[in-house]
Amino acid sequence: MLRLNSHPSGRHFLQIPGPTNVPDRVLRAMDYPTIDHRGPEFQQLGKKVLADIRKIFQTTQPVVIYPASGTGAWEAALVNTLSPGDKVLMYETGHFASLWKKMADKLGVHAEFIVGDWRHGVDAAAIGARLAEDRNHEIKAVCVVHNETSTGVTSDIAAVRRAIDAAGHPALLLVDTISSLGSVDYRHDEWGVDVTVSGSQKGLMLPPGISFNAVSAKAIAASAKARLPRAFWGWDEIIEANKNGFWPYTPATNLLYGLSEACDMLLEEGLQNVFARHRRHAEATRACVNAWGLEILCQNPSEYSPALTAVVMPEGHSADTFRKIVLEHFNMSLGQGLSKLSGKVFRIGHLGDFNDLTLMGTLAGVEMGFALAGVPHHAGGVLAAMDSLRAAASQPSLRAA
């Protein structure tokens, strides 16, 4: 049995849905000497990173980069666009949608929550219906999570935009892509998103520590009238300094080295190939779970996440006890169930710097863990995943380059 204070052989399998494994290329880039953040060498880096990250968001508009976690980017999105007492419409898709609502409440924004069951994505029709009732346009923004990390459910953001437009409502559209950017197809411009929130530690393959707001012209115009207090989070000074490749404060220089390398890796592979790779691994994971005879938390196949799969434990068995056994025996970390899902589900992350053999090692560890923990299941899940990968190899839509 592995002792947590020992040094186990082999690599640790970090198969939580973020932070994800950091590739060697990114680690080596971050190891470069720190440079003067007001000098010409940094200016060159700043301009490159700002241009590349727009490609990842699929936008031609500004992307603001903060030395902060995704939580900071949540706050930035709200304080730059809203005023005290403003109403926002949010949708309960899981733990992280709930946390964003709590933040809005703390900031003095009136957040109306459309209640969800944590097993389905955003109901665009429900959002459209609520906006149609808001004839005085008191709702200033709609805030939704693209890929809910706690549940493994991906929502249709283009459908949300269509619902807003069909209601003839001027509300801003704010979207959290913290676990989908660089993993799941996301189109800031094409889908008419006003503020996209994201973070470094998932599909971008970096350590935690930098976060993003991609902003539309409409959002920037709203920020000129917004009255929630902001200083560090303010877009205006950052966007102005970014025009010359700089920041109005000391940026996270070495993380920006890593971001530059991560963008290179994603763009070299090609974003569509990256998305296809994630879909392929997600398909194989679900084939495995189905073969085990276990239940996937997400109930709508069209909303299955390409980035992670949340698995429901059989009645009477603790997901946390199972995760502990897997960690102790195989040096592998699986994602825990969060808040009301605590102990009821575990989450398999299959995003970021991830390939077929990483997936097979992960699923083998889970299947062996079931046997050790006495979790009822059918054998052969790993073989089902292998069959899925073989089948995908002949399907261009699922095959990575």
Helix or strand holding residue 139 (H, E): strand 139-145
Query: Would you state the structure tokens that stand for residue 338, as one six-digit string?
Result: 């969060």
* Nearest of 330, 20, 275, 269 to residue 149 by alpha carbon: 20
Q: Is 25 annotated as a binding residue?
A: no
| Cβ pair 400, 277 in contact under 8 A | yes
DSSP state of 110: E
Angstrom distance (rounded) from CA 49 to CA 258? 10
Angstrom distance (rounded) from CA 142 to CA 87? 9
Angstrom distance (rounded) from CA 7 to CA 24? 21
| Beta strands in 194-342, from DSSP E residues, in sequence order | 195-199, 211-215, 295-296, 308-312, 332-336
Angstrom distance (rounded) from CA 368 to CA 116? 34
| Cβ pair 195, 215 in contact under 8 A | yes
Sequence-separated contacts (24+) of 50-54 with Cβ below 8 Å = 50/242, 50/245, 52/259, 52/260, 52/263, 52/264, 52/267, 53/212, 53/259, 53/263, 54/214
Angstrom distance (rounded) from CA 210 to CA 219? 21
Helix or strand holding residue 87 (H, E): strand 87-91
| Cβ pair 169, 134 in contact under 8 A | yes
| Beta strands in 146-259, from DSSP E residues, in sequence order | 147-148, 153-154, 172-176, 195-199, 211-215
Query: Would you state the structure tokens that stand for residue 277, as one six-digit string?
Result: 């790779």
Q: Which residues are annotated as a binding site for substrate?
A: 347
Annotated binding site: 347
